[in-house]
Structure 1
Amino acid sequence: MKSRNWVRFFLSTLLVGGISTGIIGFALRWSDYQDLFIKFDFLEIISVLFWLFGVGLIFSVISQMGFFAYLTVHRFGLGIFRSISMWNLAQIVLIAFVLFDLVYFRFQVFAKDNESIIPYVLIAIYILVVGLIVAYFKRTSTNKEAFIPALFFMVVVTTIEWFPALRVNEEDWLLLMLIPIQFCNAFQLLMLPKFTQAKKS
């Protein structure tokens, strides 16, 4: 990728992270912020939006670090296993392991007395479903071999990037970090080929 295209890719992903976090942040705490819109407290709205946008930039940088780390890991995986099918099998095992961890270990650590395991299962299912959707579009836009790596990235790498919020385990922060990271990861995964293609003038 040319340096100019890399800069455009980096800035575009930053923008995705900032905007998505701003929208999600207002949506998650709409009951707290709706009075600002009713009173049309412009300065307060801008200050909150600016803060959310800045947090989104941090999420975007984390996402981009994870993305380029995965590109390296993917190459190492192909070199170690010497077979796409074996490397894909290893990735499927890791996907299953991470999803199991998201349910079982989070429930063991954070569940309160008599709390149901269903919310922990639902968040894992949500991450898997989003991963499957993005992987499907990645396969459609490239080739069928891209499905498993894309799913791995959207499930395993997203969960690793999400780890700071997982440790805190506050519902607002869990969703505030997860959804923008998913947007950023999906954007990078689907848009990278368009930024790497050299356009002839």
Structure 2
Amino acid sequence: MNLRKWFYLFWTTLLIGAGGAVIAGLALQTVNGGIDFKSTADLLLYALILFGYGVLVSVYAQLGFFAYLILNYMGIGVFPRKAWRYIQLVLAVLALLELVFLRTFVSGDRSVASDLILGVGILLTAIVVSGFKMRGTNASAWIPTFFFMTAITIVEIIGVLRIGVDSATIFILVPLVACNAFQILMLHRVLKPASI
């Protein structure tokens, strides 16, 4: 990967995150109706704040992506390639089970429904993104993509899960998942050698 390709991935991911945050924030505003805008300028300022927040989330997603790439590189170096794939699959399933069930059992005041919806949403998104990645590359890309879209995404949203507010979780999850999906689906295209 050269600097020009990394620059492209960086800026496009920033725009994906910003767009995802604006869409999620305005949708939550429409559904919840929390802020009463006095003028169009207030609405535009709110959208600008959402845009900036999305940029921050996209940078956070990019940090998680590069941390995953380093983890994957180290995992391939330590374990046999086939064993590393199964380790990733087991870790992804454990992360999903922890998200859905363990938090509810440890803190009894949580509702199972919101954690279950969140876990199923992340699972379905991971399956869809992994299918697209497999179609774009090969069958061996399914498990690493699934691991990244489940376990790494869950690790990235731990901070907002501690807040315990569903709208805050949706607000960070939408741009984060959009950025993660975009990065993992673009990786093989960015790394493809340029034709002479």
- Alignment TM-score, normalising by the size of structure 1: 0.90
Residue 105 of structure 2 is aligned to residue 108 of structure 1:
yes
- 1:134–1:150 Cα contact (<8 Å) kept: yes
Q: 1:19 Cα deviation (Å)?
A: 0.8
CA distance in 2, matches of 1:153, 1:65: 13
| Aligned equivalent of 1:22 | 22
Cα distance change, pair 200–86 in 1 and its aligned pair in 2 (3 A): closer
Contact 2:24 2:171 in 1 (8 A): yes
- Structure 2 gaps of 5+ residues are none
2:77 paired residue number: 79
Tell me the amino acid that sits aligned with residue 98 of structure 1: A
Q: What secondary structure sits across from 2:33 in the alignment?
A: helix
1:97 aligned partner:
94
Q: Cα 1:111–1:59, aligned 2, differ >3 Å: closer, same or farther?
A: farther
Q: Does 1:142 align with 2:137?
A: yes
How does 1:21-170 map onto structure 2 within 5 Å? 21-30=21-30, 31-32=32-33, 36=37, 41-82=39-80, 84-112=81-109, 116-170=111-165
- Contact kept in structure 2, 1:162 and 1:178, CA below 8 Å: yes
Q: Which runs of 5+ in 1 are unaligned?
A: none
| Preserved CA contact (<8 Å) 1:15 1:57 | yes
CA contact (8 A) 1:158 1:182 kept: yes
Aligned length, in residue pairs: 195
Q: Aligned equivalents of 1:23 and 1:166: distance in 2? A: 21
Partner of 1:184 in structure 2?
179
Q: Specify the code of the residue in structure 2 equivalent to 1:106.
A: R
**Deviates most, 41-50 or 100-109:** 100-109
For 1:6-56, what per-residue CA distance to the aligned partner results, in whole angstroms no more than 9, with x for missing partners? 1111011000000110011110121427864xx7x2210111001111111
> Which stretch shifts more, 191-200 or 90-99?
191-200
- Offset of residue 200 of structure 1: 4.7
What displacement does 1:198 show? Answer: 4.5
Contact 2:96 2:119 in 1 (8 A): yes
Deviation at 1:120, TM superposition (A): 1.7
Task: Output the amino acid matched with 2:153.
Answer: T
Are the counterparts in 2 of residues 136 and 147 from structure 1 also a CA contact under 8 Å?
Answer: yes
Asked if residue 196 in structure 1 is aligned to residue 188 in structure 2, the reply is no
- TM-align CA RMSD: 1.8
Give the C-alpha shift of residue 162 in structure 1: 0.9
Tell me the distance in 2 between the aligned counterparts of 1:45 and 1:126. Answer: 29
Give the CA deviation at 1:128.
Answer: 0.7
Q: Percent identity?
A: 34
Inter-partner Cα distance in structure 2 for 1:168 and 1:160: 15
CA distance in structure 1 between the partners assigned to 2:159 and 2:63 by the alignment: 14
